[in-house]
Amino acid sequence: MEKSLNWREFFITRLINLSGYSAMLFVALIFFFLLKEGLPALQEVKLSMLFSTRWYPIEDYYGILPLITGSIIITIGATLISVPFGLATAIYIAEIAPRWMREILKPVVELLGGIPSVVLGFLGILLLANFLRTSMNLPTGLTALGGSLLLAAVALPTVVSVSEDALDTVPRSYREGAWALGATPWQTIWRVTLPAAKSGVLTAIMLGVGRTIGETMVVLMVTGNAPVMALTPAALFHPARTMTATIAAEMGEVANGSTHYHVLFFIGMVLFLISLAVNIAASSVVFRTKKRAERILS
Amino acid sequence: MNRRILLIVLSFFLLTACFSNKAETDSKNSIYYIDNKGSDTIVNLALAWAEKYQSEHTDVSVAVTGGGSGTGIAALINKTTNIANASRQIKQEEIAEAKKNGVDPVEHTIARDAIAVIVNPNNPVSRLTMQQISDIYSGKIDNWSEVGGEDRPIVRLSREVNSGTHVYFLETVVRLGNSDNKTFFSTDTLLLPSSEGIVSEVRQNPNAIGYDGLGYVPQDLKTIAIAPEEGQPYILPSIATVNDKTYPIARDLYMYTNGESTGVLKEYLDWILSPEAQQIVADQGFVPVK
């Protein structure tokens, strides 16, 4: 009896270990594959060409700068919308809303997360693009701004539900302590609850940014895909082309092993490195705050 | 269950084995095989023809594959296909190579592909010259007032770069058919992934100009009449103007065979030019040749 229990214990531990390691293995394999397919681009295309401003792959112009700036400006726009809005929603759900409201709001937000992005893109083409063009008097509504707005909608459920969970795990005694000191509800939220949930909230923002920069279908449909350099905030009101949309639009037709194919993988590599950088930056902030909290406690 | 899977796998092998044969007669079932390969522009049309023809002639099996016009012609030269589909005419070098291999390519014009330039119905502009369209798409003309319209910015719409239509439009219109011309699409040209994307933006946006296969243009959009040169008549695309070659943005689509075809192959090619098959051409968004 005991022996079989031990054996089972051993087996289950190994299984859990294995799943943990497999995640690392998969990331390593994916990165290795990206390197293998993407690095030849550096040999086939001159660096000065790769970091130039014209993207026209059918005539061997492989400047990826417009695609990088396009991705970045759309991501910044979406983050500026989704983070304040998402945090406010999370605070309302976790701290302010009465119980019955909370029980309606939470599933509704999660339902928003279940809407396929291609459906959002469709709404974007048919309604949002037209609305943006007429209301802001733009030449066309297929702009980076339209992409940002829809991507904010894509990232919002992630930001709300992860940061709401983080706020929820802050012990009730923290809030009671603040109230006992005479803090108003807003002071409690801003000075006590939110800082206590900081690492969870940062994770929420990071996941939101990750969703935004990696999202493909929406941007392919609504941003117009014109490979222009996006250097100023005014570029939000012009069409833009993102890295993800480029890969999605062109990978299907490209000849396996050609220069164009390698450059598309190189773009995938750049995308991977950007999200890696976002992750490292966010986790280093989380790490630092933990250390400080420990210092205070000790 | 297992046996069923085995059966499926076996039948799959059998099928692929069939398709790898050329137009030979299978003595047991007396089925004729026709291999048809080439242009991706034509592949859907060729498939529609093959399906229709096979449903009427159960003794004929037509296998259609894409890969591009060059691939199809190369296969014809290597005698690995019966019919090569091409959206361009065969080149002199290819004819020379074919002759060397004992292949005599014979051309059949099977359909025509016309591209319509479309604008919003509220746009007063209804005619343009080829030069004007080229200048619009290359960014030299930026406002509708420069071509006789309202004072509005021009929003250029194009298909994605991997679309054959994009390349054809670049060569024929933006570069005016001149291969030394290195004009590009203006970088702020919107590259939309689908015909539907172009149609819906043109429908909503009075600033927009787009292009699409003639068969895909809905009735509620305005089609531009085009003059090849300044001073020549402006022509609207239609089956008649495409067939008498007065509409400038149209090309022929071809099938090539080795020598004058005979037997089953000839019957198939003749059927393709029949009214029934040419109706499929119209359904697929191309222009019938007859």
- Would you tell me how many other CB atoms lie within 10 Å of the CB of residue B170? 20
A246 phi and psi angles, rounded to 5 deg: -60, -45
High-pLDDT (> 90) share of chain B, %: 48
Q: Which helix (H) or strand (E) holds A62?
A: strand A61-62
Identify the CA nearest to B216 among candidates B125, B87, B134, B118: B118
Contacts of A133 in chain B (CB under 8 A): 204-205
Q: Helix H segments across chain A?
A: 2-38, 40-44, 47-50, 65-91, 99-113, 117-123, 129-136, 144-168, 172-180, 185-187, 194-196, 198-214, 217-222, 243-251, 259-297
Taking residue A263's Cβ as centre, other Cβ atoms within 10 Å add up to 27
pLDDT for the residue A151 = 94
In the block, tokens 């746009």 appear at: B123
Q: Which residue of B has its CA nearest to A253?
A: B162
Residue A98 DSSP SS3: coil
What is the helix (H) or strand (E) element at residue A61, kind and residue range? strand A61-62
Indicate the pairing of strand A61-62 with strand A55-56: antiparallel
Instruction: For residue A136, list chain B residues with Cβ-Cβ distance below 8 A.
Output: none
Q: Any idea which residue has 């509504």 for tokens?
A: A141
- Quick one: pLDDT band at residue B27, thresholds 50, 70, 90? very low
**R_g of chain A, CA atoms, integer Å:** 23
Q: How far apart are CA A157 and CA A278, in angstroms?
A: 19
- The pLDDT of residue A162 is 92
- Which among B161, B185, B207 has the least Cβ separation from residue A57? B161
The angle formed by the CA atoms of residues A58, B36 and B7, to the nearest 5 degrees, is: 110
| pLDDT of B10 over the 60 cut | no
CA dist B56 → A191, B25, B276 (Å): 79, 18, 12
Q: Which tokens hold the place of A208?
A: 């939101």
Q: Between residues B247 and A285, which one has the greater pLDDT? A: B247
Residues of B in contact with A132 (CB under 8 A): none
Q: Which residues contact A76 (CB under 8 A, 6 or more apart)?
A: A148
Q: Rounded CA gap, B282 and B154, in Å?
A: 31
CB B74 within 8 A of CB B103: no
What is the reported pLDDT for B11? 56
- pLDDT tens digits for B183-211? 899 988 999 888 888 898 999 999 999 99
Cβ <8 Å between B153 and A139? yes
Q: Does A139 touch chain B (CB under 8 A)?
A: yes
Identify the pLDDT of residue A298: 45
B262 close contact with A: CB closer than 8 A = no
Which among B191, B200, B207 has the least Cβ separation from residue A139?
A: B207
> Which residues, given as ranges, of chain A have pLDDT below 50?
298
The amino acid at B11: S
User: Does B215 have pLDDT greater than 70?
Assistant: yes
Tell me, what's the pLDDT at B24?
46
Distance from CA of A142 to the nearest CA of B (A): 8
pLDDT interval class at B240 (50, 70, 90): confident
Q: Which residues of B touch A226 (CB under 8 A)?
A: 187-191
The mean pLDDT of B29-42, rounded to a whole number, is: 82
**Record: contact B200-A56, CB cut-off 8 A:** no
Cα–Cα distance between B100 and A87 in angstroms, integer?
73
DSSP bridge partners of B191 = B158
The pLDDT assigned to B22 comes to 43
Higher pLDDT, B215 or B270: B270
Residue B213 identity = G
Nearest alpha-carbon partner for A66 in A227, A216, A272: A227
Q: pLDDT-derived band of residue B66, with 50, 70 and 90 as boundaries? A: confident
Contact criterion met (CB below 8 Å) for B270 and B255: no
What pLDDT is recorded for position A285?
75
Q: What is the ipTM of this complex?
A: 0.81
Beta-carbon contacts of residue B217 (< 8 Å; ≥ 6 apart): B116, B118, B199, B223
Q: Measure CB to CB from residue B191 to each of A125, A130, A225 and give the nearest one.
A: A225
Which chain A residues are Cβ-neighbours of B190 within 8 angstroms? 140, 142, 224-226, 239
Q: Give the integer Cα–Cα distance in Å for B134 and B175.
A: 7
For residues B240-248, give the mean pLDDT. Answer: 89
Residues B1-30 have a mean pLDDT of 51
> How is chain B classified by DSSP, letter by letter?
-HHHHHHHHHHHHHHHHHHHS-S-B-TTT--EEEEEEE-TTTHHHHHHHHHHHHHH-TTEEEEEE-S-HHHHHHHHHTT--SEEEESSPPPHHHHHHHHHTT--EEEEEEEEEEEEEEE-TT----EEEHHHHHHHHHTS--BGGGGTS-S-B-EEEEE-TTSHHHHHHIIIIITTT-TT------TT-EEESSHHHHHHHHHH-TTEEEEEEGGG--TTSEEPEEESSTTSPPB---HHHHHTT-SSSEEEEEEEEESS--HHHHHHHHHHTSHHHHHHHHHTTSB---
User: What is the nearest CA distance from B154 to chain A, expressed in angstroms?
Assistant: 7
Look up tokens 């090309």; give the residue.
Answer: B251
Joined tokens for residue A67: 């695609």
- Mutation for B interface: A136, A142, A216, A220, most B CBs within 10 A: A142
What residues contact A25, with CB distance under 8 A and at least 6 apart?
Answer: none
Q: What is the DSSP letter of A58?
A: G
Confidence at residue B23, expressed as pLDDT on a 0 to 100 scale: 46
Q: How many CB pairs under 8 A join A and B?
A: 73
